[in-house]
Structure 1
Amino acid sequence: MSDRILGAVCMVVGAGMAWAARGYVAPISYEPVGPSSFPLLMAGLLATAGAWLVVRPGPHQFAMPRSHLLPFGLSVAAVFTYAGLFQLLGFTLATTVMALPVGMAFGGGWKKSLAGGVGLGLVLYLLFDKLLDVVLPTGVLSFIFGGR
């Protein structure tokens, strides 16, 4: 029952975040996305996750087996490492460094995990930088991507 209460609270908080972010405007905007896009996306994700907690079946069906605790822990550590190295290494390289241990933690070989990480880093960088015009740090690879 406490999961359902948490879900309802998440839905209310998500609605509050969306209401608060609706008026975010930048006086001078260099990016077409705008300052309200990210808070609105997070509010939508929070409300959706809250709705799932409200309507999902009982928690006994979703218990995490002990065999999944190590990959989960490695993934959490990789995300914190990613956050710490994001500015220094840049988006592409930090994404590759994060994807390698996460891919291996869930059964991928190191070659496939590395290839997936490189592909993910490059594709997402090009998507955000070129298509969405969102500035991402290039870090140590600034000589390739034109330093920012």
Structure 2
Amino acid sequence: MTLNDRVLGVGALVLAALITAFGYDLEPPFSYEPVGPKAFPLLLALIIALCGLRLMLKGGGQVAANPPGANGRILMMVAYLAAYAWLFQWLGFIVATTIMATLVGRLFGGSWKQALIGGLAMGVGLFLLFDLGLDVVLPYGILGEWL
């Protein structure tokens, strides 16, 4: 079975509709900024919808089959993302991101050493950027005593 751009476009529109439905009612318990938390999901939904419309209108391009092993890596990536979302609060941003980035690095062919160094740099670096630089509160998780 081959998929074309129109099928992907329809899928993008469905995803944009779901993001809009879930993001539209986001309201903070108190107003701390003029835009609020729903701006990001609604903007993301708009961009995805525009891309989906473009694919639907252009349409027709046949897609080659995935190379051997690609479907398994895609399924593993989905499983890693689900585990990341599930463990994010408990483990905290740094630990969960380090594990996630390390496993994704291995999926893309990196050695354990490369993947672990990259994952740790990503976890710590992004935490410092968001927590200190952008003042975004992230969960400390199991490192709470040390942070």
Q: Same fold per TM (> 0.5)?
A: yes
Contact 2:4 2:61 in 1 (8 A): no
CA–CA distance in structure 2, aligned partners of residues 10 and 105 of structure 1:
25
CA–CA distance in structure 2, aligned partners of residues 99 and 87 of structure 1:
17
Q: Residues 45, 137 of structure 1: CA spacing in aligned structure 2 closer, same or farther, 3 A cutoff?
A: farther
* Aligned counterparts, 1:109-124, within 5 A: 109-124=111-126
Q: CA deviation at 1:82?
A: 0.8
* Aligned counterparts, 1:33-112, within 5 A: 34-51=36-53, 53-54=55-56, 55=58, 58-61=61-64, 63-112=65-114
Query: How many aligned residue pairs are there?
Result: 142
Contact 2:5 2:60 in 1 (8 A): no
- Alpha-carbon RMSD across the aligned residues, in angstroms, is 3.3
Q: Residues 14, 60 of structure 1: CA spacing in aligned structure 2 closer, same or farther, 3 A cutoff?
A: closer
Secondary structure of the structure 2 residue equivalent to 1:135 = coil
TM-score by length of 2: 0.74
Q: Residues 89, 131 of structure 1: CA spacing in aligned structure 2 closer, same or farther, 3 A cutoff?
A: same
Letter paired with 1:87: Q
Structure 1 residue runs without a partner (length 5+): none
CA–CA distance in structure 1, aligned partners of residues 76 and 26 of structure 2:
36
Q: Residues 97, 50 of structure 1: CA spacing in aligned structure 2 closer, same or farther, 3 A cutoff?
A: same
Structure 2 residue runs without a partner (length 5+): none
